[in-house]
Amino acid sequence: MARTVLILGAGASVDAGAPVMNDFLDVSQELLDNNDCDGNEEDFELVFKAISRMRQLHEKVNINVINLEEVFSAIEMGVILGRFGDIEGDELARLSKSLKRVICTTLERTMKFEFAKSDDRLQATEANLRLMGLLKRLEEKNTSKKLRSCVITFNYDLAIDIAFMFRKIDFTYCLDETNETVYPFLKLHGSLNWGKCRVCEDGIGSTTIWEGQTNKDGSHCAKGSPGTASHCGQLTINESVIVSPTWNKLQQARPLRNIWRRAAQELSEAQEIIIIGYSFPDADIFFKFLYALGSDSNTRVRRFIIGNPDESVEEKFRNLIGSGIQQRFEFIPERYNELMLLLNGHQKMTKKYPKFRPLT
Ligand SMILES: [Zn+2]
C-alpha cells in the first residue's frame, strides 16, 4: 500500500457550512447587524472600521477588501508598520486580535452541527464521514505502523476534529511530542480550540470539550473554547491560536513549528499526495517552500491528485511540481463532497471518471 497524505483547503470547510473566502466578511457583517457576535461587538466594529479605511486606500492601491486573506494580511502589515489610516493607539494595538476574534466567531456561529441520534456526540457531515471511511480503509491495509496516512489542513474550524471524534478515531495535533500510535491531524494555520500557554513561551494546549449553543432549529454551534485547554498544568489563554494564511506566518507562528516540521516530514515520505479544496493563493509562498523542502527526498511520488472545482487551479499546481511527477498529476474539477465519493470508489463518480483509480 502507499503512504497517503491528504491536504485539505477552504473547500473542505465550505462543504461543512463555513462561508467562502470571498463572502466571509459579508457573513461577519450580517452577524454584527443581527446582534449575533457572541459578545464581541467591539471587535467586529473595529474590524469593519479598518476595512472602511482600506476602501479609502483602494483609490491608490488595489486591495481586495472583500477577500479575507487579503484583509488579514493588510491588517497584520498595518500593525507591524504602526499605521492604519486614523486607527492608532489602543485601537491599532488590538486590531489584529479583533480580526482573529471576528474570524473565530464567524466560523463558530455559521458552522452548524447536528447531534447524533444514538448519543450526545456531534455528528460529522456526510463528506467528512466519507473522509473517515477512507482513512480507516487506508489504515486497515497498513501492516506497518510507519506507513500511516496523514491529514494536513489549512482550516481553523472543527468539522474534521468532530468527525474524528464521531468515528472514535484517536488523533493528535502533534503540538508537543508526537504519539506515533494515533492518527496525525496537522492544522498548519492553527485551530479554534487551541490556546497559548500562560507559562512556557511557545506552548499550545488544545481541548476537544467545547462549549456550544443549541439553536432553535435543533442545530448546534461548537465554540473552540481555548480557555479550557491546559498546558504546563495551567489553563491556557482564552484566545484561539490562528495565524494569517499569507506571508507573515513564519514570524508570528513559532509555536506552530512542530506541526510544520511534521508536515514537511509527512510530505517527504508521501507516495500519494492529494490536495482538495485548496486554491493555492499567489501570496502563499509558505506552501510552495513547505512543498519544495518536504518533497526533497528519495521517496517516489506515485500519484499527485488535485481536486478543485476551480479549473484555473490546475495550472498553478502544474507549475509547482517538478517535471519528474508531471505524468503522475491528476486533476479532478470537483468539490470536496464529490471528491470523497470518487476517492472511496463510489459508483456515481467512478462512472464519470472511468480512468480514475480509487485509492487502494
Ligand atoms: Zn506550557
Q: Which pLDDT score, from 0 to 100, does residue 119 have? A: 75
Q: What CATH code would you report for 4-17+113-189+243-352? A: 3.40.50.1220
* CA pair distance 156, 93, nearest whole angstrom: 23
| Residue 110 Cα to ligand 1 middle (Å) | 31
| Residue 205 Cα to ligand 1 middle (Å) | 8
| Residue 192 Cα to ligand 1 middle (Å) | 18
Poorest-confidence range of 91-100, 255-264, 306-315? Answer: 255-264
* CA pair distance 66, 51, nearest whole angstrom: 9
| Residue 197 Cα to ligand 1 middle (Å) | 5
* CA pair distance 268, 286, nearest whole angstrom: 16
| Residue 230 Cα to ligand 1 middle (Å) | 8
The DSSP result for 259-301, as a single string, is HHHHHHHHHHH-SEEEEES----TT-HHHHHHHHHHT-SSPPP
* CA pair distance 163, 134, nearest whole angstrom: 12
Please answer whether residues 69 and 122 qualify as being in contact, where contact means their C-beta atoms are separated by less than 8 angstroms. Answer: no
| Residue 207 Cα to ligand 1 middle (Å) | 14
At 256-270, the pLDDT tens digits run 888 988 888 888 888
Average pLDDT over residues 26-35: 95
How many C-beta atoms surround the C-beta of residue 63 within 10 A? 16
Q: Which pLDDT score, from 0 to 100, does residue 282 have? A: 67
| Residue 158 Cα to ligand 1 middle (Å) | 23
| Residue 236 Cα to ligand 1 middle (Å) | 8
Q: Which pLDDT score, from 0 to 100, does residue 195 have? A: 96
How many C-beta atoms surround the C-beta of residue 22 within 10 A? 12
| Residue 296 Cα to ligand 1 middle (Å) | 33
Q: Which pLDDT score, from 0 to 100, does residue 285 have? A: 67
Q: Which pLDDT score, from 0 to 100, does residue 1 have? A: 56
**Residue that the C-alpha cell 503540538 belongs to:** 175
Please answer whether residues 284 and 9 qualify as being in contact, where contact means their C-beta atoms are separated by less than 8 angstroms. Answer: no
Rounded to 5°, angle at Cα 333 from 264 and 330: 55
Q: Which pLDDT score, from 0 to 100, does residue 179 have? A: 67
